[in-house]
């Protein structure tokens, strides 16, 4: 992975789901409680830490894109939801936002 350049979109993994689950409450504080929260795909960008762009299914036909920041290990900070996009569809491309 090249520092600064985001990866291509990849299918979500168990690790991606764990990351999404850790910021779910942060998103639900801003929006509402979701009946489901399933990570479908993701991209990663290495900066002064790591940005995760994750497409999440929040209902049968509703999706959101979330951006999560993971600080550098020595900073010992929790994952942070830094931005999100609501009203996304299953086929909407996961891009930088």
CATH number of 73's domain: 3.10.450.10
Overall domain count for the chain: 1
Per-residue model confidence (pLDDT) at position 3? 59
Per-residue model confidence (pLDDT) at position 48? 87
Per-residue model confidence (pLDDT) at position 14? 97
Residue 78 placed within a domain: yes
Q: Which residues of the chain have pLDDT under 50?
A: 1
Give the residue numbers spanning the domain of 45: 10-88
User: In sequence order, what are the residues at sequence separation of 6 or more whose Cβ sits closer than 8 angstroms to the Cβ of residue 25?
Assistant: none
Per-residue model confidence (pLDDT) at position 70? 96
Per-residue model confidence (pLDDT) at position 62? 95
Residue 81 placed within a domain: yes
- CA 3, 6, 8 angle in degrees (round to 5)? 130
């Amino acid at each position: 992975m090249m520092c600064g350049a985001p990866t291509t979109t990849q299918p979500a993994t168990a690790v991606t789901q764990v990351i999404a689950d850790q910021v779910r409450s942060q998103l639900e504080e801003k929006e509402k409680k979701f009946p489901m929260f399933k990570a479908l795909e993701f991209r990663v960008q290495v900066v002064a830490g790591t940005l995760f762009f994750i497409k999440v299914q929040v209902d049968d036909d509703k999706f959101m894109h979330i951006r999560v920041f993971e600080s550098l290990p020595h900073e010992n900070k929790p994952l942070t939801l830094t931005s999100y996009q609501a009203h996304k569809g299953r086929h909407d491309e996961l891009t930088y936002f």
